[in-house]
Amino acid sequence: MAKQNLSPKTKARRKALNKKPNLALGSREVLEAVVGRFGIPKKAKVIRRTSDITLNFKRHLFKEQLDFINDPSKRKAALCTRRAGKSFAVSRYLIQEALDNPETLCVYIARTREAAKRILWNMLKQADKQYRLGIKFNNAALIAKFPNGSEIIFTGANDSSDVDKLRGAAFSLAVLDEAAFFNINVKELVRDVLGPALLDSDGTLAMISTPNELCAGFFYEITELEKYGYATHKWSIKDNPYMTQAVKAIDRDVRAGILDPTDPAYKREYQGLWVKDDRSIVYKYSDANIYDELPENCFWEYIMAIDLGYHDPTAFIIAAFSDDHEELFIVEQFKKKNMLTSDVEDLIREFQSRFNFSKIVVDTGGGASRMVLETFKERTSLPIEPAKKSGDKVGLITMMNADLARGLIKVRKDSELLKEWDKLQYNLAGTAEDKRFDNHLSDAALYTWMESRHFLYEAKERPPEFGTVEYYKQLEDKMEERLLREQEQDSGHDENLWGVGYSNDDAFYN
């Protein structure tokens, strides 16, 4: 057959017709075809793999943060400085736990609910947008729900009522942020609430904070004294690669004298060191204020002060003073949460039978407390009065500290009151007590000090020690005085006859 002379255009058309079609479809094309033909089933769930997200997390976290998150220990703590990126690490830790474990429950606990919302809630929303996680945020309940059924609860632990809300839950991860600054007993929170809540899934408890100025508390014991077997991690702002400008600014302020590297606050905030600072402590006591036994052989007058509470403890302080001593002695104390009116009344009666109080004062912080006080007065017929209060509480505490400095207030060693005084401090402005710390026994002690009359003590002249020259001189003076008194009584002197200063013997004097 003669070869046909075809034009280039015809050749190209025939070549295209003879070419075999490629029928292989990519997964994306198949998905689009199915969706276009049948639509998305109503009950279908899009399950996202977390490997890519995990890689993104690792890309944005530095080594110290990753070491903390990846540590397999079930109990761990991180001691950090300000701006070290601890909260950012915690937010990613919670997200990763929720993604890796469907239908799990995590909890983030700050000092207060407001603090939890301010510190981490918005940070979680930003992460949701950045990684397209599909989280649903309940702004009222502060619960973040993930597409795989996992949830993160945000809450505070300001008092026992907040803690009670956590009872009965089962968590796979619990995070305590700023654990060194909680208002409640963190050890009790962990032992009584979080420990049982983590049992079901063998969950992890992570605590993170900067140091406090008291060098005390559960977090201090974990990170500094290495108690309770926690895995401890430490890093500072200088380890955070995203804070290089902030580090330069700190160094600049140090050179300018604005920041002092020897100051305890600098060591805590920027070096993450446990350094005690007593300057903000409210009640300043020393060994001169400690006693073992109440002195004997004198008459004691007793007073009691009560600081009422329910979720907060009801606190009792019993104090004694005497005309024979210039000191006020704190002889007994008691505090307990969730006390009913009948419980308080029974305890008042018990203490009254032992001490026979001359006065009982009760803190009537509100209308309800005043009603309780009037009820106590009517039922017990005891000398119960409202505690005296002042608009200048700081001034009263300053005056009480003056008595403490002079050793005029005595407290038994290792008492709960001293434990409160060890921790209680002023706020940053120094205008009031910091609400993070318990002050109920302290307030009751302040009321007893205000009601006490130990300041009326008048020093009596002490007799000279037996055997000394002064002792015998005093003995001679007393003997001479007694003899003169006896002579005057036996002289028969008649003042009407002889006048004052003369005796009968004077009339016959030669």
Q: What token pair was written down for 244?
A: 């290089």
pLDDT at 13: 66
In a domain, 34, yes or no: no
Four-point Cα dihedral 278, 283, 286, 287, nearest 10: -140
Q: What does the pLDDT look like over 115-154, one tens digit per residue? A: 899 989 999 999 999 888 999 999 999 999 999 999 999 9
pLDDT at 222: 96
In a domain, 27, yes or no: no
- CB 111 within 8 Å of CB 178: yes
78-82, 186-190, 461-465, 494-498, range with greatest mean pLDDT: 78-82
**What proportion of the chain, given as a percentage, has pLDDT over 90?**
50
Q: What token pair was written down for 186?
A: 């963190």
- CB 331 within 8 Å of CB 356: no
In a domain, 258, yes or no: no
In a domain, 257, yes or no: no
Residues 193 and 332 in one domain: no
pLDDT at 51: 47
Q: What does the pLDDT look like over 171-210, one tens digit per residue? A: 999 999 999 988 788 998 999 999 999 999 999 999 999 9
- CB 62 within 8 Å of CB 85: yes
297-301, 350-354, 458-462, 498-502, range with greatest mean pLDDT: 350-354
Place of tokens 């004694």: 320
| Residue 281: DSSP 8-state | B
Band the pLDDT of 62: cuts 50, 70, 90. Answer: very high
Residues 327 and 410 in one domain: yes
pLDDT over threshold 80, residue 12? no
Tell me the CA distances in angstroms from 221 to 82, 319, 402, one per residue in order: 20, 33, 32
pLDDT over threshold 50, residue 433? yes
Q: For 466-487, what is the mean pLDDT?
A: 79
Query: Which structural domain range is residue 474 located in?
Result: 469-508
In a domain, 46, yes or no: no
Name the E strands within 139-181.
143-145, 151-156, 173-177
Grouping H, G, I as helix, E, B as strand and the rest as coil, residue 443 is helix
Residues 428 and 504 in one domain: no
In a domain, 267, yes or no: no
Residues 66 and 179 in one domain: yes
Residues 318 and 383 in one domain: yes
Amino acid at the residue 142: L
Angstrom distance (rounded) from CA 366 to CA 428: 27
Per-residue b/e over 381-410, b at no fewer than 16 CB within 10 Å? ebebeebeeeeeeeebbeebbebbeebbbb
Angstrom distance (rounded) from CA 275 to CA 326: 36
CATH number at residue 174: 3.40.50.300
Out of 7-21, 165-179, 321-335, which region has the weakest mean confidence (pLDDT)? Answer: 7-21
Please indicate whether residue 86 or residue 479 has the higher confidence score (pLDDT): 86
Average pLDDT for the chain: 83
Band the pLDDT of 379: cuts 50, 70, 90. Answer: confident
Band the pLDDT of 462: cuts 50, 70, 90. Answer: low
Provide the domain count of the chain: 3
SS (H, E, C) 164-192: HCCCCCCCCEEEEECHHHCCCCHHHHHHH
Q: For 391-420, what is the mean pLDDT?
A: 91
Angstrom distance (rounded) from CA 424 to CA 439: 7
Grouping H, G, I as helix, E, B as strand and the rest as coil, residue 333 is strand
Residues 106 and 239 in one domain: yes
Residues 211 and 322 in one domain: no
Band the pLDDT of 418: cuts 50, 70, 90. Answer: very high
In a domain, 159, yes or no: yes
Name the residue among 97, 84, 104, 90 with its Cα closest to residue 54: 97
Q: What token pair was written down for 342?
A: 């009948």
| Residue 13: DSSP 8-state | H
Place of tokens 């004097």: 509
Q: For 358-372, what is the mean pLDDT?
A: 74
In a domain, 44, yes or no: no
Please indicate whether residue 391 or residue 349 has the higher confidence score (pLDDT): 349
Residues 111 and 176 in one domain: yes
Residues 221 and 322 in one domain: no
Out of 25-34, 74-83, 470-479, which region has the weakest mean confidence (pLDDT)? Answer: 25-34
pLDDT over threshold 70, residue 54? no
Band the pLDDT of 422: cuts 50, 70, 90. Answer: confident
Please indicate whether residue 409 or residue 26 has the higher confidence score (pLDDT): 409
Residues 226 and 298 in one domain: no
Residues 429 and 484 in one domain: no
How many helices (DSSP H) and strands (DSSP E) are in the chain? 20, 15
pLDDT over threshold 80, residue 506? no
CATH number at residue 319: 3.30.420.280
What secondary structure does DSSP assign to 68-114, as a single string?
Answer: HHH---SEEEEEE-TTSSHHHHHHHHHHHHHHHSTT-EEEEEESSHH
Phi, psi of 360 (to 5 degrees): -130, 125
pLDDT over threshold 90, residue 482? no
pLDDT over threshold 50, residue 218? yes
Which of residues 433, 456, 479 is at a domain's end? 456
Please indicate whether residue 295 or residue 214 has the higher confidence score (pLDDT): 295
Residues 452 and 473 in one domain: no
